[in-house]
Amino acid sequence: MTAMQTNLFELTPTELDSLKVDVNLLPKDGSVTYISKVFEPNSCSTLFASLREALDWQQDQLVMFGKLITTKREVAWVGDAGCSYTYSGVKKFPQAWTPELLHIKHTAEALAHHTFNSCLLNLYHDGAQGMGWHSDDEVELEANAPIASVSFGGERKFSFKHKFEKLGVSVVLENGSVLLMHAPTQHFWQHSLTKTKRIVPPRINLTFRAIRQEQQ
């Protein structure tokens, strides 16, 4: 057993399920479940440090108003071989899974009752870094698969707004929490990570995704 493993990693799928409160945060057109304290504070700190250290983090690039913007937020794309995706016209190839990431993935899979083959990680250094309104609806994603979002570090406000109606919902994503977004959430709702002027510690968010693999 390594220092990385904690009691929580040893919970069975049934025990993990018992952490789940089956309350849908959305009023309609999708299903979002929030589970706090899936990872206990000590293992959150260890995992945060090891993810920061072990992965190859890159500043994200995206096209905004026709211009190529380099964000201060850093990203890492991890997955099975064959799980590449195209983002702002750039094809990205995945980094390999680390043992810590596989532990986190197995926990996310047990909670979501679905397997994942890739993970997008975002590192927000402070409250001035966030993510604008979007849906996780890339063509590469397996239709109707859930997305599991795991958070480590400073807690941040995460909001949903309906694409066609005046409806909105927010939730604070705490250290060690998991947010599950089930179909058809991405079809009807956008989400964003709100910037804040408050002093907040750095945060790493992991979104586990099921990508349709390329034919080898």
Ligand X SMILES: O=C(O)CCC(=O)C(=O)O
Complex with ligand X: residue 43 or 207, whichever CB lies closer = 207
* Number of residues in contact with Mn ion under rule CB under 5 A: 1
Query: Taking CB positions, which residue lies at the least distance from ligand X?
Result: 205
How far apart, in whole angstroms, are the C-alpha atoms of residue 13 and residue 106?
9
The angle formed by the CA atoms of residues 114, 116 and 120, to the nearest 5 degrees, is 135
- For the bound state, the minimum distance from the C-beta of residue 45 to ligand X, rounded and expressed in Å, comes to 18
* Cβ-defined contacts of 171-175 (< 8 Å, 24+): 171/25, 171/32, 171/34, 173/34, 173/149, 173/205, 174/36, 174/37, 175/41, 175/44, 175/151
- For the bound state, the minimum distance from the C-beta of residue 136 to ligand X, rounded and expressed in Å, comes to 5
Question: Considering the rule CB under 5 A, would residue 136 count as an interface residue with Mn ion?
Answer: yes
Look-up of token digits 């409160």:
21
Residue in 191, 139, 141, 143 with CA at minimum distance from that of residue 25: 191
Question: Considering the rule CB under 6 A, would residue 211 count as an interface residue with ligand X?
Answer: no
Identify residues 140-159 at the interface with ligand X (CB under 6 A). Answer: 149, 158
| Contacting residue, 46, 129, 175, 207, with ligand X by CB under 6 A | 207
Question: Considering the rule CB under 5 A, would residue 140 count as an interface residue with Mn ion?
Answer: no
- For the bound state, the minimum distance from the C-beta of residue 27 to ligand X, rounded and expressed in Å, comes to 20
Complex with ligand X: residue 6 or 135, whichever CB lies closer = 135
- For the bound state, the minimum distance from the C-beta of residue 41 to ligand X, rounded and expressed in Å, comes to 19
Complex with ligand X: residue 11 or 212, whichever CB lies closer = 212
How far apart, in whole angstroms, are the C-alpha atoms of residue 26 and residue 28?
6
Complex with ligand X: residue 46 or 205, whichever CB lies closer = 205
What's the gap between Cα 173 and its chain centre? 11
Complex with Mn ion: residue 16 or 206, whichever CB lies closer = 206
| Contacting residue, 173, 181, 200, 211, with ligand X by CB under 6 A | 173
Q: What phi and psi, each to the nearest 5 degrees, are found at residue 9?
A: -65, -20
Contact 172, 156 (CB under 8 A): yes
